């Protein structure tokens, strides 16, 4: 079954190739089996971009601040990290073997900009794209044919796929949601306020104060705190949960109990390694909107004009639910 956002013509061409090419069909089926919703793939791409930004050391959050050599290295890191995540066997002539078939992995920062080496002719390529500015990513399969490629003008004679033949790509996932780079997409005024804070702990407090009801990943925490014990800075006992308690702000993590609270409040549910902050206010049995029971009392999301009281103590649990 193909993603609904692909044009009908592309579906027709890709479906024909899928039927005609058993190897293509086998690799497609295996990848769909390994990652039906594309969540693992998306996580690898998010982590790879964050690995290049290296925010804990550099404080960077914007792809444009990377050096040219770092951007060039992105394709290699995507290839390595996908192999680690999915445990693909080494290929004979290409990067991987998937279902016993050689597959080359190509990553581009621009959709359609994949550079295909001459030795990939006749082989399957896993074509990957991710854009931190649009928070989107894609991955598809293509059996490389010479007539579908533009001539290479670079020194290593790498080729590109002709625009009119990109409809031959069998998309595994197309223009899917890439986990958000929160710092990149923040209001610049709020981001400046975060970075103007005097310490790692103060920066994290400001982040959770100004980025409520948004998923904040572990790498964002690492970038803002710029400390090796960055996770400690989120928790109670002196961390952001303690610091923001009097402001009525709770910080939900990836514990199952926290995810249930998020769902009941109607705010984004934190996935593995993520946090969501939200200001809450007491509710009663007559409250018609979303509400949840925390620490023996009913609470709801605070709105302008609500009385702000100290936030409740969240339940703790070692049970996490991957999504």
- Calpha distance 32→29 (Å, rounded): 5
For the CA atoms of the chain, what is the radius of gyration?
23
pLDDT below 70 — which residues of the chain? 1-15, 17-18, 152-157, 317-323
Q: What is the pLDDT of residue 14?
A: 63
pLDDT of residue 13: 62
Helices (H), the chain: 8-20, 22-34, 39-53, 55-58, 68-86, 182-185, 188-196, 200-210, 218-225, 240-243, 256-265
Predicted local distance difference test score (pLDDT) of residue 155:
58
Distances (CA, A) of 75 to 93, 177, 296: 18, 20, 51
**Tokens, residue 250:** 């709770």
pLDDT at 275: 95
Q: Report the pLDDT value the prediction gives residue 322, as an integer from 0 to 100.
A: 47
Look at residue 162 in the predicted model and tell me its pLDDT.
92
**Per-residue pLDDT tens over the stretch 298-323:** 999 999 889 889 999 999 755 445 44
Q: Is 305 helix (H, G, I), strand (E, B) or coil?
A: coil
Looking at residue 316, what is its pLDDT?
78
DSSP 249-268: EEEE-SBHHHHHHHHHHTSP
What is the model's pTM?
0.85
pLDDT in tens, 232-264: 888 877 789 999 999 999 999 999 999 999 999
* Rounded distance between C-alpha atoms, residue 127 and residue 304, angstroms: 47
């Amino acid at each position: 079954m193909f993603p609904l956002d692909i044009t009908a013509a592309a579906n027709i061409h890709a479906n024909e190739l899928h039927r005609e090419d058993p190897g293509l069909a086998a690799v497609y089926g295996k990848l769909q089996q390994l990652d039906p919703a594309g969540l693992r793939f998306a996580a690898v791409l998010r982590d790879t971009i964050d690995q290049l930004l290296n925010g804990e050391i550099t404080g960077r959050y914007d792809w444009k601040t990377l050096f040219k050599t770092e951007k060039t290295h992105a394709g290699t890191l995507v290839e390595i990290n996908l192999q680690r995540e999915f445990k693909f066997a080494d290929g004979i002539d290409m990067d991987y073997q998937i279902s016993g078939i050689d597959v080359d992995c190509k990553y581009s920062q621009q959709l359609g900009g994949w550079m295909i080496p001459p030795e990939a002719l006749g082989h399957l390529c896993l074509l990957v794209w991710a854009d931190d500015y649009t928070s989107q990513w894609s991955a598809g399969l293509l059996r490389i044919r010479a007539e579908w490629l533009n001539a290479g003008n670079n020194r290593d004679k790498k080729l590109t796929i002709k625009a009119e033949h990109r409809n031959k790509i069998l998309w595994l996932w197309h223009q899917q949601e890439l986990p958000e780079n929160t710092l990149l997409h923040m209001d610049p005024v709020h981001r400046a306020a975060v970075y103007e804070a005097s310490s790692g702990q103060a920066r994290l407090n400001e982040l959770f104060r100004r980025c409520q009801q948004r998923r904040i990943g572990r790498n964002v925490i690492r970038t803002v705190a710029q400390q090796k014990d960055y996770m400690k800075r989120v928790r109670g006992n002196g961390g952001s949960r303690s610091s923001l308690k009097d402001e009525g702000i709770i910080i939900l993590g990836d514990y199952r109990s926290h995810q249930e609270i998020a769902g009941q409040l109607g705010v984004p549910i934190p996935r593995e390694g993520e946090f969501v902050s939200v200001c809450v206010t007491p509710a009663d049995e007559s409250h018609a909107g979303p509400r949840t029971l925390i620490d023996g009392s009913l609470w709801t999301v605070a709105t302008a004009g609500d009385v702000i009281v100290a936030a409740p103590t969240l339940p703790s649990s070692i049970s996490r639910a991957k999504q």
